[in-house]
Amino acid sequence: MCGIVGYIGKNPALPILFSGLERLEYRGYDSFGFCVLDDGKIDFLCKEKGKISDQCHIKNSESSGSIGIAHTRWATTGIVTKENAHPHFDCNQEFFVVHNGIIENYKEIKEKLLNEGHKFSSETDTEVLAHLIEKYFDGVLEDAVKKALKEVRGTYGLAVVSPKDPNKIVVARMSSPLLIGINGDEFIIASDPSAIITRTRQIIHLDDNEVAVLTPDNFIISKQEKENDCWKIADKKIETIEWNIEEAEKGGYKHFMLKEIMQEPATIEDAIRGRLYLEKGNAKLGGLEIVEDRLRNIDNIALIGCGTAYYAAKVAEYMIEEYAGISAEPDIGSEFRYRKSSFNKNTAGIFVSQSGETADTLAALREMKEKGLLTIGVTNVVGSNQARETDAGVYTRSGPEIAVASTKAFIGQLTTFALIAVYLGRQRDMALVMGNRIIEEISRLPELAREILDTKEEIKTIANKYINYRDFWFIGRKYNYPIALEGALKLKEVSYVHAEGTAGGELKHGPLALIDENCPTIAICSSDSVYEKMISNIEEVKARNGKVIAIATKGNEDIKKIVDDVIYIPKTLEMLTPILSVIPLHLFAYYFADALGRDIDKPKNLAKSVTVE
């Protein structure tokens, strides 16, 4: 989500770090920071709010140090402030850390360190690393880093420098990318190849459980062995990056939209990390703790969003009503204000937004606040207006989404809502076994989502087969009704082809008049409580010579006999199927639009964030 750059060599580090960060800005841009060492001393230390590209004067600062680390932040834990920007440091400003990822157990560690007398200056999870390194430092930086890492749980790509052991950078990785670029007698570390590609194309990828120590003339990578806790020198291969800058930013994918779809399993992982209470059959949602008691008394919920976020709200309606027994009503931000809704003091509003800046959603939020009602945010951007103005909330942690059409952020919203439904359900009548069952199934979702992405070439073939059609219908029922709406929205947004979504049951009430051999239907018919009814809808379409592409559950061979094409998704709980069934629809829209040569990441007439009403 954030970006890391580090430099060790013979040249001044600052300009190299600066241009590396500029190229990483697309990954996170709310604040940034640098720490450069020279001759065993801190030569340049700076943390700022805002975009690096607005701060060009920094590049020309007096600094000749040739060892340094830098970071551009996309806030997750702790709002956007100068203090929360990286590098983070210990009590005496001797150990400097830049970090991507999440330290899940940071609260426990922080409490312990506070009791031991450590003084913290930020709200971040990262800062505990700096203090742990301070605590364990005994002359050799890498030894202290290794000891510190033994105490933390979570994910990290990190880089550490210290004037106490000044001629090195120590880096480590666990589930968060980090690479070392080799350029003759200098080494550049980065979380992303786009940061270093103009300086070198020779790289080594760090793997999980690896720690590298870089000095001006050499580097050593060691790996921790699981069995005996020992560190062994790792034998690594140097790879050559063939990508150009633009391809590198897109992770080698042709478009950000495809890259972001491919990140969907990781988005689920990020949304649930540290939030699954398996033994308690519950979700641990720190952001709702302050309103926990108020939430217990809530008996109806208004769910507000716009565009794709509104469809997430519609899925949430089914989840919350079925599993928490609370009446829930979704509405579009722009329509909410025209209604004379009969709220009572036990009404809560849940506002869903990737950006947290959508004007209509914010207007609805402000209206509800004026009525003194409880407001909750399901937001991706930390510190956004929505995040700041709601009483409490849950961040979706989906990372920056660059493509205008929302894909991974939607997956993050649905996953977050599944957690909220369990949380509200367990506050009420949901049995422990039911909570256990859902939480366990949620933990399998990343793996199931990956299975779908593995079939992307088949989905591409199907999309290409339908490339000459100009009208599409999407149908689904219950949990997959909003997914039919989202599938149609995605297709029209990126391909400019007419597509509509309806509830399966509504087909007879109008849309059938348009179904013929020129208007294919995409039917979401997973093997669940509405399967038979969806089959009836498919038969209605087939009776009018309409072509049908089915999204069906793996193992359902019968469906092949009645439809033209099938895309399979793995079996999961009915309430979680939308998180899987939308993935092939995202891929279908992408490949369809790509075959038509559309400007996929920036569709005409559309904006990523609609900040006017």
What residues are annotated to the active site? 2, 608
Give me the least distance between CB of 82 and ligand G6P, in Å please: 26
Write the DSSP string, 336-354.
Answer: HTT------TTEEEEEEES
Cα(418)–Cα(575) distance, integer angstroms: 8
- Choose the stretch contacting ligand G6P; rule: CB under 6 A; options: 202-210, 306-314, 453-461, 543-551: 306-314
Among positions 98, 197, 404, 421, the unique one binding ligand G6P when judged by CB under 6 A: 404
584 binds ligand G6P (CB under 6 A): no
- Map 155-172 to HEC letters: CEEEEEECCCCCCCEEEE
Residues paired with residue 5 on neighbouring β-strands, in sequence order: 70, 190
Residue (189 or 491) nearer to ligand G6P, CB: 491
Give me the least distance between CB of 474 and ligand G6P, in Å please: 17
Both tokens assigned to 64: 């000749």
3-state secondary structure of 359: helix
Please report the beta strands in 505-610, taking only residues with DSSP state E, as ranges in sequence order. Answer: 521-525, 548-553, 565-569
Counting beta carbons within 10 angstroms of the beta carbon of residue 313, is it exposed (0 to 12), middle (13 to 18) or buried (19 or more)?
buried
Outline where 498-546 has alpha helix (H). 531-542
434 binds ligand G6P (CB under 6 A): no
Cα(444)–Cα(606) distance, integer angstroms: 35
Residue (306 or 552) nearer to ligand G6P, CB: 306
Cα(567)–Cα(550) distance, integer angstroms: 6
301 binds ligand G6P (CB under 6 A): no
- Per the listing, tokens 């937001």 go with 379
Give me the least distance between CB of 579 and ligand G6P, in Å please: 17
384 binds ligand G6P (CB under 6 A): no
Residue 293 makes CB contacts below 8 A (sequence gap 6+) with: none
385 binds ligand G6P (CB under 6 A): no
* Pair 216, 8: CB distance under 8 Å: yes
Radius of gyration of the chain (CA): 25
Cα(506)–Cα(511) distance, integer angstroms: 8
Both tokens assigned to 361: 């959603």
Q: Please state, in angstroms and as integers, the Cα–Cα distance from residue 306 to each residue in 314, 336, 358, 458, following that order.
A: 11, 11, 8, 32
Give me the least distance between CB of 598 and ligand G6P, in Å please: 15
Among positions 84, 308, 334, 390, the unique one binding ligand G6P when judged by CB under 6 A: 308
Residue (241 or 405) nearer to ligand G6P, CB: 405
Among positions 60, 606, 611, 613, the unique one binding ligand G6P when judged by CB under 6 A: 606
Cα(427)–Cα(425) distance, integer angstroms: 5
Give me the least distance between CB of 356 and ligand G6P, in Å please: 7
Residue (230 or 606) nearer to ligand G6P, CB: 606
Among positions 309, 525, 538, 551, the unique one binding ligand G6P when judged by CB under 6 A: 309
Give me the least distance between CB of 414 and ligand G6P, in Å please: 13
Cα(336)–Cα(330) distance, integer angstroms: 9
316 binds ligand G6P (CB under 6 A): no
415 binds ligand G6P (CB under 6 A): no
Among positions 65, 307, 435, 520, the unique one binding ligand G6P when judged by CB under 6 A: 307
Total binding residues toward ligand G6P, as defined by CB under 6 A: 16
610 binds ligand G6P (CB under 6 A): yes
Cα(330)–Cα(107) distance, integer angstroms: 35
405 binds ligand G6P (CB under 6 A): yes
Cα(257)–Cα(27) distance, integer angstroms: 14
Give me the least distance between CB of 387 and ligand G6P, in Å please: 12
398 binds ligand G6P (CB under 6 A): no
Per-residue mark of binding to ligand G6P, 344-363 (x: CB under 6 A): ---------xxx--x--x--
Give me the least distance between CB of 400 and ligand G6P, in Å please: 12
306 binds ligand G6P (CB under 6 A): yes
Residue 493: alpha-carbon gap to chain centroid: 21
- Per the listing, tokens 């059959």 go with 281
271 binds ligand G6P (CB under 6 A): no
608 binds ligand G6P (CB under 6 A): yes
543 binds ligand G6P (CB under 6 A): no
194 binds ligand G6P (CB under 6 A): no
Q: Would you tell me which residues interact with ligand G6P (CB under 6 A)? A: 306-309, 353-355, 358, 361, 404-406, 606, 608-610
